[in-house]
Structure 1
Amino acid sequence: MSRLDVAIMLVKGLGLQTLLSAKDVVNQSLAFKDLANLSESQLNYLKIVNGFGLMVGGDGISFRPNDAVTRTEAAVLLVRVLGYEEDAKAIQYPRLSFVDAADIPAWAAPSVQVAVQHGRL
């Protein structure tokens, strides 16, 4: 599933679609440089998930709307949606026992640990 598809799913699933026509959403600008081929409707979905801090883009300049969502990104999204982000921020040295734990990026490891602790992974 693409990052754009997940953004749309999140907006609809969380009941945020009423914001799609809100002036503060429509007039919000996005700093991402890779959105030129998206429709206004698609951009509005991204504005909502970005505005709520659910999907922020990794490097600040690209959103990668057509890239598939990775397992790591999905875990981080889950933690953000469920409101566990402060728990993740409090973890300085995550301890993960997955076989592929070394493949989990440092920025995501605390969220993965929190998702495991809460029985979500």
Structure 2
Amino acid sequence: MNDDGSLTPVPTTFVGNKAVIKSLTNSTYVVVEGTHTFSDIQPHWAKGYIETLAAKQLVKGMTDTTYRPNDRMTRAQFAVLLVRALGLPSETYDGRFADVKGTEWFNKNGELAAAVKFGIIQGKTAYMFAPNEPITRAQAAVMIERALKLSIVGYDEATSDKTKKVTDFRDAKQLPTWAKQAIEAVYQAGIMQGRDSGNFDPTSHVTRAEMAKVLMDILELTKLI
């Protein structure tokens, strides 16, 4: 619970009637129970993921009643969701990007600044962030791998399936060099898979529904849910 009474979700697991809060700061905490659904996920393959994350206040709808699961994720949205899911502490924005004022929704509680400080995401250039640009599957894989490598996350790479290789994908030769290692890492971790076609499809965009599943997989993998 913030000083102004607003709530910021932090990773929490439950053992019987005991809440185990995994936070990086000393703060005031409150356990909130609730459910939330959206009219446009009935039915949808990601319904369960979306409702679980919405109940934990990690994802929000585009309106109070609609989630818009098939909309494309933006760079800012993806960064904010990773920061929320991992419970990274907020940071003060230093004004480094010309296209980010620091007062936008995606940095309301210092989320974007935290994503940049912890190295999860970088600018498109040293001075431009492009917050509203849709994020590709290759870019998402890189961000996820960076998040998993954070020491505070505590992900055990030994649990990855090392038999999985990027050569499993039909379009392996088309994967960008800068993303190959990350794609293989998240594939081995079981967070991202190939498409039904057998391709990884690195340049296609991540939808809001796909991000919900990715977030759940990350939280379960790192025992934060």
Per-residue CA deviation, residues 73-113 of structure 1 (Å, 9 max, x unaligned), is 111122122228xx8xxxxxx85332233432211111112
> What count of residue pairs does the alignment treat as equivalent?
105
CA change 1:119–1:70 in 2 (3 A) is: same
Shift, 1:34, TM fit: 2.2
SS in 1 for 2:167: coil
* 2:120 and 2:144 in contact (8 A); partners too: no
* 2:124 and 2:130 in contact (8 A); partners too: no
SS in 2 for 1:96: helix
1:119 and 1:53 map into 2 onto residues whose CA distance is 22
Structure 2 residue aligned with 1:34: 99
CA change 1:57–1:101 in 2 (3 A) is: farther
Shift, 1:29, TM fit: 1.4
Structure 2 residue aligned with 1:6: 78
What RMSD, in angstroms, separates the aligned Cα atoms of the two structures? 2.6
Shift, 1:117, TM fit: 2.8
AA matched with 1:63: F
When the two structures are superposed, what TM-score results if normalisation uses the length of structure 1?
0.68
2:190 and 2:129 map into 1 onto residues whose CA distance is 29
CA change 1:100–1:33 in 2 (3 A) is: farther
* 1:54 and 1:77 in contact (8 A); partners too: yes
* 2:141 and 2:186 in contact (8 A); partners too: yes
Describe how 1:1-121 pairs up with structure 2 within 5 A: 1-16=73-88, 19-20=89-90, 25-26=91-92, 28-36=93-101, 39=103, 42-43=106-107, 44-83=110-149, 96-121=167-192
1:107 and 1:61 map into 2 onto residues whose CA distance is 21
* 2:120 and 2:146 in contact (8 A); partners too: yes
Moved more, 45-54 or 5-14: 5-14
Per-residue CA deviation, residues 34-54 of structure 1 (Å, 9 max, x unaligned), is 224x52553422110000001
Q: Percent identity?
A: 31
2:76 and 2:99 map into 1 onto residues whose CA distance is 12
* 1:96 and 1:113 in contact (8 A); partners too: no
* 2:76 and 2:132 in contact (8 A); partners too: yes
Per-residue CA deviation, residues 11-33 of structure 1 (Å, 9 max, x unaligned), is 211112xx33xxxx22x414323
